[in-house]
Copies of this chain bind each other. A is one copy, B any other.
């Protein structure tokens, strides 16, 4: 009896669905600020963390926003070159950097944050009644061993 391989439906496969949803969401967000501000996703994450945690090291960002440290390093360099932040060496531990937004960087965030907030609001409205379950499902996927 020839064994037909069990059919496999990619469109119902959770890792695939997640990847597509994440990509669409990130792309939709990036569209809202990439052209106008020239900020990539990695740079955006760095900016957010520097913006609300003050003087942070590359390592801090690496650990808290799920970015490779080399990616953080290069994103920070691009942001520094663009004048959005400065790198100082930490006086306590001179291996560490202390990244801080410049005034220009704060201006940038003042423009970006409302855009980001509006998008979050839009997404919440779209998800509506599924939002809570969706959020706790994401929590599981972000924290549990897979």
Instruction: Please list the residues of chain A having a beta carbon within 8 angstroms of any beta carbon in chain B.
Output: 5-10, 13-26, 28-29, 41, 45, 48-49, 51-52, 64-66, 106, 109-110, 113, 116-117, 119-120, 122-124, 126-127, 129-142, 144, 146
Q: Which residues of B contact A24 (CB under 8 A)?
A: 141-142, 146
Residue of B7, B17, B26, B106 near A138 (CB, 8 A) is: B17
Knowing A10-B65, A25-B18, A29-B15 touch, does A5 contact B130 (C-beta < 8 A)?
no
B21 & A26 in contact (Cβ 8 Å cutoff): no
Knowing A21-B141, A24-B146, A138-B21 touch, does A13 contact B120 (C-beta < 8 A)?
yes
* Nearest chain B residue, comparing its CB with the CB of A27: B146
